[in-house]
Amino acid sequence: MTARIIDGKAFAAVLLESVAEHVSHLKQTQGITPGLAVVLVGEDPASQVYVRSKGQRTVEVGMHSYEYRLPADTLEAELLALIEQLNLDPSVNGILVQLPLPQHLDEALVINAIDPSKDVDGFHISNAGLLATGQRAMVPCTPLGCLMMLREYCGNLAGLHAVVIGRSNIVGKPMAQLLLNESCTVTVAHSRTRNLPDFVNGADIVVAAVGRPLFVKGEWLKTGATVIDVGINRIEQGDGTTRLVGDVDYDAAKDIAGAITPVPGGVGPMTIACLLANTVAACCRVHFLPEPAGLTA
């Protein structure tokens, strides 16, 4: 069996098109242009690449992009002052503080300083709590993108056994919450789980978010399983160049899975599309306007 390839890039392009239409409608009928502020502290090269591509996509769909690049030694008080300024600025509908932050900054403190209604990453404790209790929340972009692709490829998810590998606050935990809200039977596994292959072998859906290259082996999978690979690992090749690989051994998995996301071109592009969709939703909510459908359970 050869798996269907879940084309996240194409899927994201469709979502971005509908975001762009929504933005254009807001402009024409309300004179409003949604705005997204992205804050990057420090000079991590990978983070700079992501921030640049977020800014480009934001402008492409017709929204305002505001970028703040702060030095690595920025004081916590300075960062909190910027967040407060963005919280109060009505032209800013979404605020994203790029993670990870430098060591001396308290990530939880900084994230929880963001106005929850502008927390388009869905990382604020208030949004995490709303999601965990099945209420309308800003949903973290990566798990939201994964859910959209799963709904498309599996249809109704109720009763399916999903194994989420990874327990981070930004992917594993919210992914498990979303799948529970879809009535999946959810197992949350992680790098310390014993007999992980046995759990994976029982899964109709596998979401791999452990951050270890090629960690999930093809032979662990149940035939026909749907595999979502959240990993983005840059590995050195023999010739000195680098290559992006996921957390799943794709070449082996594709002969056993029923459907699988590639890396790159799977979850990554959906993450950015969902970020922009969340920003439009945040803008609609603050103005009491109808918002794009399908962003939550």
Ligand X SMILES: Nc1nc(=O)c2c([nH]1)NC[C@@H]1CN(c3ccc(C(=O)N[C@@H](CCC(=O)O)C(=O)O)cc3)C=[N+]21
Is 99 a residue that touches ligand X (CB under 6 A)?
Answer: yes
> Any idea what the Cα angle at residue 37 is, between residues 36 and 38, rounded to 5°?
120
151 is in an annotated binding site: no
- β-pair partners for 151: none
| In the complex, minimum distance from the CB of residue 76 to ligand X, in angstroms, rounded to a whole number | 17
Residue listed under structure tokens 């452990």:
210
Please check if 170 is assigned to a binding site: no
β-sheet bridge partners, residue 244? 234
Q: For residues 208 and 173, what is the distance between their CA atoms, to the nearest angstrom?
A: 12
Residue 281 burial (CB < 10 Å; 0-12/13-18/19+)? buried
The binding track of 219-248 with respect to ligand X, each residue x by CB under 6 A or -, is -------------x-----------x----
Residues 160-189 that bind Mg ion (CB under 5 A): 168
To Mg ion, the closest distance from the beta carbon of 219 in angstroms equals 26
Query: Binding of ligand X at residue 66 (CB under 6 A)?
Result: no
Q: How far is the CB of 47 from ligand X (least distance, A)?
A: 6
Taken as a whole, the chain contains a residue count of 297
The footprint of Mg ion on residues 205-244 (CB under 5 A) is none
Q: Has 73 been annotated as catalytic?
A: no
User: Is there a contact between 205 and 230 (Cβ–Cβ < 8 Å)?
Assistant: no
Q: How many CB atoms lie within 10 A of CB 128?
A: 23
CA-based R_g, the chain, Å: 19
Binding to ligand X, residues 146-175 (CB under 6 A) = none
Three-state SS at 14: helix
Distance in angstroms (rounded) separating the CA atoms of residues 295 and 139: 8
CA atoms within 13 A on the CB side of 108: 4
Active site (annotated) includes residue 98: yes
**177 catalytic residue (yes or no):** no
Task: Kindly state the smallest distance separating residue 195's Cβ from ligand X, in Å.
Answer: 30
Member of 268, 277, 281, 295 binding ligand X (CB under 6 A)? 268
Q: Is 121 in the site for ligand X (CB under 6 A)?
A: yes
- Contact between 117 and Mg ion per CB under 5 A: no
Of 118, 119, 121, 247, which residue is the catalytic one?
121
Residue 48 contacts by C-beta under 8 Å, 6 or more apart in sequence? 40
Of residues 210, 258, 265, 281, which one binds ligand X by CB under 6 A? 265
96 binds ligand X (CB under 6 A): yes
Q: Is 168 annotated as a binding residue?
A: yes
183 known ligand binder:
no
Please report, as ranges, the residues that interact with ligand X according to CB under 6 A: 49-50, 96-99, 121, 141, 232, 244, 263-265, 268-269, 271-272
Which residues form the catalytic set? Answer: 54, 98, 121
